[in-house]
Amino acid sequence: MSTDELDLAALDDQSVIRLWGSAMRELRRRELIRSSNNPVADLAERAAAEHLNLTLQTKSNPGYDAVDEAGQRYEIKSRRVTAVNRSRQLGQLRNLEQRPFDFLVAVIYDEDVQLTELWKIPVDHVLACSTYRPRVNAHVAHAKGALLHPPAERIV
């Protein structure tokens, strides 16, 4: 069944919410996601691991999400860009000055959760192109502009 065949507008609010819950359970059963939170972060980790041949770490691992065969550490951040929210702000990067990872992987999805971009960015470049925000005690980076210029590498 395609999403065009499923008339969500015909369902009441509670039915749509239940459908979302059922879809989340099935995504987890299929091991497409690893948590019960917003699936975009889990899907981004999976996409990064597949495209860069990474091994995902445990969910409680501080500072990075995956490693490659050489032992380099990767922090994976994602964003779903929609018609009503075009922001490309990635998740908060804590303790960035301590370089807890070697590369940031920025994963961008469209509104239909289709992968549109995947970038591999060295930590020093991330540090140079991000802004520290005391209010959240973290650096914030946007997947656009200077951050995506060399030495950043577009994978997808």
Phi/psi of residue 89, nearest 5 degrees: -70, 130
> With 90 as the cut, is the pLDDT of residue 64 above it?
yes
The domain limits of the chain are 1-30, 39-154
What percent of the chain has pLDDT above 90?
A: 69
Q: Mean pLDDT over all residues of the chain?
A: 92
What is the rounded (10 degree) CA torsion for 28, 32, 38, 44?
160
pLDDT tens, residue by residue, 21-57: 888 889 989 999 887 778 899 999 999 999 999 999 9
Binned at pLDDT 50, 70 and 90, residue 1 comes out as low
Residue ranges with strand state E in 37-86: 55-56, 66-67, 73-80
Q: What is the pLDDT of residue 4?
A: 58
> With 70 as the cut, is the pLDDT of residue 111 above it?
yes
Cα 82 from chain centre: 15
